[in-house]
């Protein structure tokens, strides 16, 4: 049930109390949450692939289709999203340094993962009803960066040491 709690709290972002609740969750849960989120996000594509009839490969065994799907769709998509989240967390780290806030890269990485919940779920729901290209997933970048900036400003400033 921790993943459901993470999801519900991620929808409440950028509330200050929610930020600190999500910050207490371990990095291992954040990574697993991202993998689950990416699995949910890629499900419409898998369903579409399984329903194709008359195309080459439609007569393939469903198990083979699922294996190909995870190797050639889910894995590259997940790697790209992890790299983008890492890049955004790095940008957040530099922004936090400019704003003199006490926040580190791992915390920003976790929070960035949580900010992607709404865009990815929205994409998944829309992709079930309308054919959407995966490039629409790139819309999570500005959304997450805006939320990341709001979240960074919640953290206290660093004290100047003499």
DSSP 38-86: HHHHHHHHHHHHHH--SSTTTTS-HHHHHHHHIIIIIHHHHHHHHHHHH
Q: What would the pLDDT profile of 116-149 be if each residue is shown by its tens digit?
A: 999 999 999 998 888 888 788 788 889 889 999 9
The per-residue pLDDT for range 58-99, each reduced to its tens digit, is 667 778 888 988 999 999 999 999 999 999 999 999 999 999
Please report which confidence band the pLDDT of residue 34 belongs to, taking 50, 70 and 90 as the band edges. Answer: very high
Residue 20 has what pLDDT?
85
- 29: tokens are 């849960």
Phi/psi of residue 55, nearest 5 degrees: -95, 160
Residue 38: pLDDT band (50, 70, 90) is very high
Q: What pLDDT does residue 28 have? A: 93
pLDDT in tens, 40-63: 999 998 888 887 755 665 667 778
The pLDDT assigned to 65 comes to: 83
d(CA 31, CA 33): 5
Is 56 within 8 Å of 96 (Cβ atoms)?
no
Q: What is the pLDDT of residue 55?
A: 64
For the question of whether the overall pTM of this predicted structure is more than 0.95, the answer is no
pLDDT of 96: 93
Q: How far apart are the C-alpha atoms of 55 and 80, rounded to whole Å?
A: 28
């Amino acid at each position: 049930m921790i993943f459901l709690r993470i999801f519900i709290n991620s929808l409440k972002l950028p509330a200050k109390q929610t930020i600190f609740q999500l910050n207490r969750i371990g990095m291992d849960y954040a990574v697993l949450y991202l993998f689950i989120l990416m699995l949910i996000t890629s499900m419409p594509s898998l369903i579409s692939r399984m329903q194709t009839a008359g195309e080459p490969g439609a007569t393939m065994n469903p198990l083979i289709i699922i294996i190909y799907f995870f190797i050639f769709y889910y894995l590259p998509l997940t790697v790209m999203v992890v790299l983008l989240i890492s890049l955004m967390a790095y940008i957040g780290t530099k922004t936090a340094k400019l704003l003199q806030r006490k926040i580190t890269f791992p915390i920003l990485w976790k929070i960035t993962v949580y900010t992607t919940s709404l865009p990815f779920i929205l994409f998944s729901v829309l992709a079930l009803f309308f054919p959407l290209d995966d490039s629409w997933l790139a819309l999570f970048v500005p959304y997450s960066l805006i939320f990341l900036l709001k979240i960074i400003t919640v953290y206290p400033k660093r004290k100047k040491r003499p």
